[in-house]
Amino acid sequence: MEVDYKFNNTWFKDLAKPIWDTFLPRINPTRILEIGSYEGAATCYLIDNIASKRNIELHCIDTWEGGIEHKEFNVAMDQIELNFLNNVKISIEKAPCKVNLVAHKGYSSLMLANLISTGKSNYFDFVYVDGSHQAPDVLFDALQGAFNV
C-alpha cells in the first residue's frame, strides 16, 4: 500500500508511473539496474509491480549525497537515504516473490565498473538512469549502463 511509503515529492508518481504502467509489462524484466535511487519511488514501483508475479534482482546505485539541485535547496540527504532504506524494506516485506536488492552506495562510475568486474557485463534486462542530472554524468551513465552492464 503506497501510504506506507515516505516520499517527499510526487515526481515519479505524477510523471513516470503512467508511462511505466504502459511499457513495463511488455519488457517483463527480472534483472534490473537503477542508477539514481533517491527515496526509492521507482525502486518500490518495480518491486511492487514485478515481484508480485516473479522473483527479481534489483541493483540500485546512488551516493545519497545529492546533486547540485539538492545542495541548492538544502535537501537533507541523510534523511533521503533513510527514506530509501525504509521504503524498500516495506516494499520487499510485502512482495509475494523473492527480491534480491543490492544497494551500491557510491558514484556510478565506480559502481558500474565494479558490477562489470564481478561478471555483470550484459547482465541486466532493464536499466533505469536517473542519477546525476549533469550532462556529462548522464551521458556516462547512459553509455556505461546501456552497453556494458
Class of domain 31-148: alpha beta
CA dist 41 and 67 (Å) reads 18
pTM of this prediction? 0.88
Q: Are 134 and 68 in contact (CB under 8 A)?
A: yes
**Closest-CA residue to 145 (of 61, 56, 57):** 61
| CA–CA separation, 95 and 50 (whole Å) | 9
The residue with cell 533521503 is: 80
Q: Are 67 and 134 in contact (CB under 8 A)?
A: yes
Taken as a whole, the chain contains a residue count of 149
- State residue 80's pLDDT score: 87
3-state helix, strand, coil in the chain (%, to 5): 50, 15, 35
Residues pairing with 34 in the sheet = 60, 128
Residuewise pLDDT in 10s, the chain (149 residues): 445 899 988 999 999 999 999 999 999 999 999 988 999 999 999 999 999 999 999 999 999 887 766 666 667 778 889 999 999 999 999 999 999 999 999 988 899 889 989 998 889 999 888 766 666 666 766 767 665 65
Residues 7, 17: Cα–Cα separation, whole Å: 14
Reduce the DSSP state of residue 124 to 3 states and report it.
Answer: coil
The answer to whether 133 and 104 are in contact (CB under 8 A) is: no
